[in-house]
Structure 1
Amino acid sequence: MKRLPQCAQLGSALVLVAAAMIPSALHADSIFQPIEYTLGDGTVVRISGQINMGVLNYDDGQGSFTNVVNNDNSSSRVRLQILNTTGEWKFESTIEAEYQPLASNVVSQYQDEPNWDFPATNIRKAEVALSHDNFGKLWLGQGSMASDGTAEVDNSGTSVIAYSSLSDTAGGYFFRNSGDGLSGISVGSAFSNFDGLGRKVRVRYDTPTFHGFGLRTSYGEDAFADKDFPLYDIAAVYSGDFDTIDLDAAMGYAWNDETDIETLSGSISGLHKPTGISLTLAAAREFTDGIEGRYGYVKLGYQHAFFGCGKTAFSVDYYFGKDIAAAGSDSSSIGLAAVQNIDDYNLQLWALWRNYAYDDSASEYDDGQAVFGGALFKF
């Protein structure tokens, strides 16, 4: 298929920038695909990862701030995997770490300097898994709990920059009181998607899928917390690929034994293949003895191959939350996102505009606005 010259030129320029950031030990002809080595018994050793950076501008109503940041919606990371899928029993092990000196969810009016340290919390995964088509999959080690991702199912094609976790963009910035001073309410504290228990040290079991349906459950502890405490969760998932529709859904229940906080989260997303139109819905509620936050999220998307270099995706979304940062508070946001895929270079060019609004009985607050653009390069 013929590629458009402008896509190729833009892709080449961005690849050169991304390649300069990859350790020089990687051979130049290997940066576009994962590096793989196959042993004699069929075991595959694979190195892969991604770089995802952009320029974020945040306007708090009375001041504007611009920084080059890592996109925390899908963080820059590298992974090492050992895989053996040649027999009925399949084995895999993964070590994955992210590196974000200045992340889009951390930068704020007070903090705009990169932190070049590498804390232990940068270790996303250190796990092994054993699976069988008839018996399911058992996971051990640091990785996703069963409820991780249950609020984040998204087939819109723009989740690299816009999905239910709104605080991944500009989450560190503080709302400004209408009287000029900065408040103590950050975007991150006012917009949560209550997406289960995240990644923890756990034992997890996934059942085999039956007509697209599956169950999973896990027990774990937070290895990076000051003290260990039990975490429990269970999730139900569905994935269906039909002639005209891709449909995915998930629902999870999670319980933190230390804080006695329970969360119920779910999401569903459908893509109509002939038209490229998608609809995504997400909602969750947190149950505690104190404030019980809740929210709803809706997203309308459209994707189409306008150019020969890859699909273009657009979306508009709306978030409405209640009692998340404080009792009686309201949080709302509308966002517009666009993503251009450049398939030959494993690139996604993305852009976002988002408005954040917050209200409570303590004060009046100016809206915040974020404009975020950049690129994701996978290798």
Structure 2
Amino acid sequence: MLAAFGLAMSFTQASAADLGGNCCADLEERIAELEATTARKGNRKVSLTISGWVNEAVFLWDDGTERNAYVGTNALEQSRFRFVGEAQIMPGYSAGYTLEIGAQGDPSNKWDQLGPSSSSANALVVRKSNWWLKSKDYGKVTVGLEGTATYHLLDDADGANTRNVSDAQAAAVYQGNFFLRSGVAGVNALRWSDVLRGVDNGTEGQNGRRNIVRYDSPTIAGFVLTASWGEDDQAGVSLTYKGKWGDFNILAKGGWEKSTDENLTGCAPFSSGGAGDAQDCEWFGGAATVMHVPTGLYVYGGAGQTIDHGVQLISASAEDTSTMWFIQGGIEQKWTPLGKTTIFGEYRHDDVGSRTNKAFGAGLDAGYVHNGDMNFWAAGLVQNIDAAAMDLYVMYRHADGDLTNSVNVTADLDAFDMVITGARIQF
């Protein structure tokens, strides 16, 4: 018995030694492979979170004269990746950073009737680059490239799953770079973005990402106050509310901002004669979503206004105010195991003001764009696939309107129609 036991132990130890040697060699090789392919942090004190999404789509369009189909990056919410770091300073206090890079294959907001290709294709764009200090009790201060107080003011009040597919600025973004079509001479040289106003993406009432100092208060009774300043000079404030009243989810935002920055795009006086240094523009807006949770029925709507004090320095008769309002309604329910389905319809109306450096007409009919009425409506469906963090979408969009120049010549615009279908997948 003792001999048999000793023989068994000897065999087991030998086998374990062989197995252990092979196992450790394989394990060391696997560890080396993982170290060579794994993202690293610069230090162990600051956390690192990597996230983002890819958003690509097919766009079929018809401007009344020509029709075509393009494929590329959906510029309403372009593909991107984001690095966010955070470190605790002491209980209740932390510091961190945000670095967000936009990635565009063939960006849809650069397309026109001449073709989908542009100099912006296959490029990376710095969207955000900032550091911040945060207190649980006192709020957050951010310094660097970040959204201002009215950044996405109307868009971020969208409480349905249309936020990244068809928000407040969708009408201006999807067709902004396409040329207008009309029977009046000169109009065909203008683009939709030449007449749609607003300092960011042709949408009144909101701003973009700028180099700023920003403060966000802690949440108090569902409210967050935001204030920002920067970019020689822009300053603004906004208020956000998020809460639940009985069976209703409420999301609302409102704010105001002013700019005297001569290089801020989208804000006049648009002069090549020196008056361009007299930039003076302000805007305000508000929007909200009310959703009935049991049924999924919701309404999302809002309005914005831009007052361009500079255009009247060039022409006393110029219209300095542009306004926009919109409304979207629909239903959002989980009818299938895949995820929530959102069915929606929307309407947007723009009463645009003057662009004194944009003319149409010929001879005695020549004059700058004085004002106009633009109409947009859309309908679509978004299907969330929860297991893949993915949204599939399809929608139909229509636009029409008219423009009047400074010598009272009115041009009726040909309708512009577009069908968009694509997907956004997050990581």
Normalising by the smaller structure, the TM-score range is 0.7 to 0.9
Structure 2: gaps of 5 or more residues:
1-32, 197-201, 262-278, 312-319, 356-368, 405-409
Please give the alpha-carbon distance, in whole angstroms, between the structure 1 residues aligned to 2:66 and 2:150: 38
Query: For 1:167, what is the secondary structure of its paired residue?
Result: helix
Going from structure 1 to structure 2, the CA distance change for 1:340 and 1:82 (only over 3 Å counts) comes to: same
Paired residue for 1:169, among 171, 174, 182?
A: 174
Amino acid of the structure 2 residue aligned with 1:65: N
Paired residue for 2:288, among 264, 268, 284?
A: 268
Normalising by structure 1, what TM-score? 0.83
Query: For 2:226, what is the secondary structure of its paired residue?
Result: strand
Paired residue for 2:55, among 49, 52, 71?
A: 52
1:88 aligns with 2:131: no
Paired residue for 2:190, among 175, 185, 193?
A: 185
2:251 is matched with 248
Please give the alpha-carbon distance, in whole angstroms, between the structure 2 residues aligned to 1:353 and 1:181: 28
Q: Report deviation, 1:314.
A: 1.1
Provide the identity percentage. Answer: 23
Please give the alpha-carbon distance, in whole angstroms, between the structure 2 residues aligned to 1:40 and 1:236: 36
Decide whether the 8 Å contact of 1:101 with 1:115 is kept in 2: no
2:14 is matched with none
**Higher RCO (CA < 8 A, seq sep 6+):** 1
Map of 1:85-124 to 2, 5 A cutoff?
87-115=91-119, 122-124=125-127
Query: For 1:163, what is the secondary structure of its paired residue?
Result: coil
Amino acid of the structure 2 residue aligned with 1:269: T
Q: Report deviation, 1:185.
A: 3.2
Please give the alpha-carbon distance, in whole angstroms, between the structure 1 residues aligned to 2:186 and 2:372: 19
1:329 is matched with 372
Q: Report deviation, 1:47.
A: 1.4
Query: For 1:205, what is the secondary structure of its paired residue?
Result: strand
Q: Report deviation, 1:90.
A: 2.3
Q: Report deviation, 1:109.
A: 0.8
1:199 aligns with 2:202: no
Query: For 2:110, what is the secondary structure of its paired residue?
Result: coil
Quote the RMSD (CA, aligned, Å): 2.6
1:344 aligns with 2:387: yes
Query: For 2:387, what is the secondary structure of its paired residue?
Result: helix
- Cα distance per residue 1:9-40 (max 9 Å; x no partner): xxxxxxxxxxxxxxxx999xx9xxxx897975
Please give the alpha-carbon distance, in whole angstroms, between the structure 2 residues aligned to 1:173 and 1:26: 48
Please give the alpha-carbon distance, in whole angstroms, between the structure 2 residues aligned to 1:278 and 1:159: 13
Decide whether the 8 Å contact of 1:247 with 1:269 is kept in 2: yes
Structure 1: gaps of 5 or more residues:
1-24, 222-228
1:354 aligns with 2:374: no
Decide whether the 8 Å contact of 1:71 with 1:103 is kept in 2: yes
Going from structure 1 to structure 2, the CA distance change for 1:138 and 1:146 (only over 3 Å counts) comes to: same
- Cα distance per residue 1:320-362 (max 9 Å; x no partner): 1112464330001110021000111111101111101120234
Going from structure 1 to structure 2, the CA distance change for 1:88 and 1:38 (only over 3 Å counts) comes to: farther
Please give the alpha-carbon distance, in whole angstroms, between the structure 1 residues aligned to 2:342 and 2:195: 28
Going from structure 1 to structure 2, the CA distance change for 1:337 and 1:117 (only over 3 Å counts) comes to: closer
Q: Report deviation, 1:160.
A: 1.9
Amino acid of the structure 1 residue aligned with 2:248: I
Greater alpha carbon shift after TM alignment, 232-241 vs 366-375: 232-241
- Cα distance per residue 1:351-379 (max 9 Å; x no partner): 11110112023422211001110010111
- Cα distance per residue 1:132-181 (max 9 Å; x no partner): 12111101110111111212210121122211102221221112113698
Please give the alpha-carbon distance, in whole angstroms, between the structure 2 residues aligned to 1:283 and 1:107: 27
Query: For 2:193, what is the secondary structure of its paired residue?
Result: helix
Decide whether the 8 Å contact of 2:206 with 2:304 is kept in 1: no
Please give the alpha-carbon distance, in whole angstroms, between the structure 1 residues aligned to 2:128 and 2:426: 18
Decide whether the 8 Å contact of 1:36 with 1:46 is kept in 2: no
Structure number with greater Rg is: 2
Decide whether the 8 Å contact of 1:161 with 1:352 is kept in 2: no
**Number of aligned pairs?**
341
Q: Report deviation, 1:71.
A: 0.8
Decide whether the 8 Å contact of 1:161 with 1:337 is kept in 2: no
Please give the alpha-carbon distance, in whole angstroms, between the structure 1 residues aligned to 2:51 and 2:371: 45
Going from structure 1 to structure 2, the CA distance change for 1:36 and 1:241 (only over 3 Å counts) comes to: farther
- Cα distance per residue 1:98-128 (max 9 Å; x no partner): 02232222211124115366778x1110011
Amino acid of the structure 1 residue aligned with 2:208: G
Query: For 1:364, what is the secondary structure of its paired residue?
Result: strand
Decide whether the 8 Å contact of 1:190 with 1:331 is kept in 2: no
Normalising by structure 2, what TM-score? 0.74
Q: Report deviation, 1:196.
A: 2.5
Query: For 2:104, what is the secondary structure of its paired residue?
Result: coil
Please give the alpha-carbon distance, in whole angstroms, between the structure 2 residues aligned to 1:90 and 1:320: 44
Q: Report deviation, 1:274.
A: 0.6
